[in-house]
Structure formats: structure tokens, C-alpha cells
Amino acid sequence: MNVREVMTPDPRTVMADDSIQDAAKIMREEDTGVVPVVAIGGHLIGIVTDRDIVLRSVADGDSPKNHVQEILTKIVFITTPEMSTKDCAKLMAEHQVRRLPVVVNGRIVGIVSLGDLAVREGKDSRVGDTLEDISEGVKVH
């Protein structure tokens, strides 16, 4: 199975100069914890997550009118629609990430999450192994 078969296609995006509040509204409307950040022409430059908003904005008392570019996570790891879900799960585990932008020619075409892999391949122990590997670095208090 490849990523194209499990990804969420055509995610809504924001631009770097959009407000943090705009990103949060998209998260609410789309019931998601991540919004891709694109430049003019649709090229992916980063993502903003609900965690970015909380830790890099709300916790500091910043205005929700501030720009997304101030808190975005720059993209380091991506996948392609053709990558196998097995290789995608390995990439997530190796880099301890739960979501990967799906990119073609620098443009976002989808998002794949650990949840997408779990729903489509629920009987596969790969998902549990991947979650365990991703969570390995998480501190328990």
C-alpha cells in the first residue's frame, strides 16, 4: 500500500503572513491539529500545529493576530504519494513525528498521520511499533 491510499488529500493551508487565529480556525473547522504553511505558488514552507500555537504563542501571552511565520515548524521531513506506508511508518518512527506532509514538486498534496496509517492498516502491528518508536522519546511524569 502507498501513502496516496491513506493520506488526507488537499489539506487547507495558510500563508506565513496569515494570523495564528486564522490557522486555529482552520484546525477547528477541519477537526485537525495541523495546517500546512505555503508560500505564493503553493510551495510548502512549514506546518503549524496545535502544539505550536499553545507552546510558542498562547503560553507566552502573544496575540492570536500575530503571524503564523513566528511560530511555524519548518519542514524537515516529508513523504511522497508513492512512498510505501511501510517506509512512511519507518520514517515517522525514525524521526519521532506523528504527521508528514505529502509533497510533489515542492507543493503539498496531502497529509499522512499515524492515525491514517492506523485506520487503514489497523491489523498491522507496524502501527503499534511505529507509535512505540515515536513515543520512545516522550518523558513520562
| Segment 30-50, tens digit of pLDDT | 999 999 999 988 899 999 999
Task: Locate 116 and state its grid cell.
Answer: 491514517
Residue 84 DSSP label? B
CA distances for 73 relative to 52, 56, 93, 126, angstroms:
7, 10, 18, 27
pTM: 0.82
Q: Which neighbouring-strand residues pair with 105?
A: none
* Residue 28 identity: R
Which triple of cell numbers denotes residue 73? 515548524
Q: What is the C-alpha to C-alpha distance for residues 54 and 85, in angstroms, rounded to an integer?
A: 30
CA 131 to chain centre: 15
Q: Using one digit for the tens of pLDDT, what is the confidence trace for 83-122?
A: 999 999 999 999 999 999 999 999 999 999 998 888 766 5
CATH numbers and ranges of domains, the chain: 3-135 (3.10.580.10)
CA-angle at 80, arms to 117 and 118, nearest 5°:
0
